[in-house]
Chain A
Amino acid sequence: MSILKANLKHLYQRRGLWFVYAIILMSVPALISKIVMNEGTDYQKGLFVVVFILSNVVGLFVCSMQIDIAVKPFSHCLPGHRRVKRQILFAVAVTTSLLFSLIFLLYPNVTVGDKLMAVFAAFFAGMTSFWIGVLIAFTGNYSAAALGVYPIIGIIASKYDLHIALESSIIVEPGIVCVVGIVASILAWTLLASEGWFRRHCGADWIGFIDIWNWGKVRKFSSKRYGKLNGSVLPGGFERLCLERIKNTSMRIQRYFAGVVYETFGGLYSSKISCFVSMFLLLLIGSTFGYFKGAGIMVFLIPAGMLVNMRMPIHSTLLIAGGRRERYFSTCFLAIVSAVLLCVIGLLIAMATHAFAATQMMRPITVIGNLSQYSPISPLGFYVPFIIVPVGFTLMLVFKRKQIPLMVSWVLFIVPFAILLAFVDLRNIWWACAVASIIATCWVVFLGVLWWICMRRSLVI
Chain B
Amino acid sequence: MNIKTDNEVAMVQIRGLEKRFGKTVALAGVDIDVQPGRIIGLLGANGSGKSTLLRHMVGLYIEDAGQCRTFGSEARNLGPDQLGRIGYVHQDGELLDWMTVAQHIRYVSAYYPNWDKQLEDEFIKDFDIPLKARVGTLSPGKRQQLAILLAIGFGPELLILDEPAAGLDPIARSRFLDLLLSLIQDPNRTIIISSHILSDVEKVIDHAVILREGILLRDCSFDDLREEFCKIRLSSLDGNLPEALGFEAVGPVQRSDKQAVLTIAAQPAQQLNIKAAQLNCGIEVETLSLDEIYRIVVTA
Q: Which residues of A contact B (CB under 8 A)?
A: 219, 222-227, 229-232, 234, 239, 243, 246-247, 249, 255, 259, 262-263, 266-267, 270-271, 316-326, 455-460
A247 — which chain B residues lie within 8 A by C-beta? 110, 113
- Residues of B55-84 at the interface with A, using a CB-CB cut-off of 8 Å, are 55, 58-62, 76-84
Chain B 78-96: CB-based contact to A (< 8 A → 1; otherwise 0):
1111111011101011111
A226 and B136 contact, CB distance less than 8 A: yes
Kindly state whether residue B247 has any CB partner on chain A within 8 Å. Answer: no
Kindly state whether residue B126 has any CB partner on chain A within 8 Å. Answer: no
Q: How far is the CA of A194 from the CA of B150 in the complex (A)?
A: 48
When the two chains form the complex, which single residue of A223, A239, A317, A455 contacts B60, counting CB atoms closer than 8 Å?
A: A317
Kindly state whether residue B287 has any CB partner on chain A within 8 Å. Answer: no
Q: How far is the CA of A281 from the CA of B35 in the complex (A)?
A: 58
Kindly state whether residue B108 has any CB partner on chain A within 8 Å. Answer: yes
B77 and A324 contact, CB distance less than 8 A: yes
When the two chains form the complex, which single residue of A229, A259, A316 contacts B134, counting CB atoms closer than 8 Å?
A: A229
In the assembled complex, the CB of B89 is this many whole angstroms from the nearest CB of chain A, namely 9
Query: Known contacts A247-B110, A249-B113, A458-B61: does B80 contact A231 (CB below 8 Å)?
Result: no
A319 and B110 contact, CB distance less than 8 A: no
Q: How far is the CA of A246 from the CA of B80 in the complex (A)?
A: 12
B134 — which chain A residues lie within 8 A by C-beta? 226-227, 229-231
B136 and A322 contact, CB distance less than 8 A: no
Query: Known contacts A226-B136, A232-B103: does B61 contact A319 (CB below 8 Å)?
Result: no
In the complex, which residue of chain A has the Cβ closest to the Cβ of B97?
A: A223
Query: Known contacts A232-B100, A458-B60, A459-B60: does B80 contact A322 (CB below 8 Å)?
Result: yes
B79 and A325 contact, CB distance less than 8 A: yes
How would you classify the secondary structure of chain A's contact residues: helix, strand, loop or mixed?
helix
In the assembled complex, the CB of A281 is this many whole angstroms from the nearest CB of chain B, namely 21
B80 and A319 contact, CB distance less than 8 A: no
A325 — which chain B residues lie within 8 A by C-beta? 79
B62 and A456 contact, CB distance less than 8 A: yes
Q: Which residues of B contact A (CB under 8 A)?
A: 55, 58-62, 76-84, 86-88, 90, 92-100, 102-103, 106-108, 110-113, 132, 134-137, 150-151
Q: How far is the CA of A326 from the CA of B90 in the complex (A)?
A: 19
Which are the 3 A-B pairs with shortest beta-carbon distances? A227-B137, A223-B136, A321-B84
Interchain residue pairs with CB less than 8 A apart (30): A222-B136, A223-B97, A223-B135, A224-B136, A227-B134, A227-B137, A230-B132, A231-B100, A232-B103, A239-B106, A243-B107, A246-B111, A249-B113, A255-B111, A259-B107, A259-B111, A263-B96, A317-B90, A317-B93, A318-B90, A319-B86, A319-B90, A320-B108, A321-B81, A323-B78, A323-B79, A326-B80, A457-B62, A458-B62, A459-B61
In the complex, which residue of chain A has the Cβ closest to the Cβ of B56?
A: A458
Q: How far is the CA of A266 from the CA of B110 in the complex (A)?
A: 16
A239 and B103 contact, CB distance less than 8 A: yes
A326 — which chain B residues lie within 8 A by C-beta? 79-80
Q: How far is the CA of A319 from the CA of B87 in the complex (A)?
A: 8
In the complex, which residue of chain B has the Cβ closest to the Cβ of A267?
A: B98
In the complex, which residue of chain B has the Cβ closest to the Cβ of A266?
A: B98
Given contacts A243-B106, A321-B83, 10 further A-B contacts (CB under 8 A): A222-B97, A226-B136, A227-B136, A232-B100, A246-B111, A255-B111, A262-B107, A270-B98, A318-B93, A324-B77
When the two chains form the complex, which single residue of A227, A243, A318 contacts B96, counting CB atoms closer than 8 Å?
A: A318
A259 — which chain B residues lie within 8 A by C-beta? 107, 111
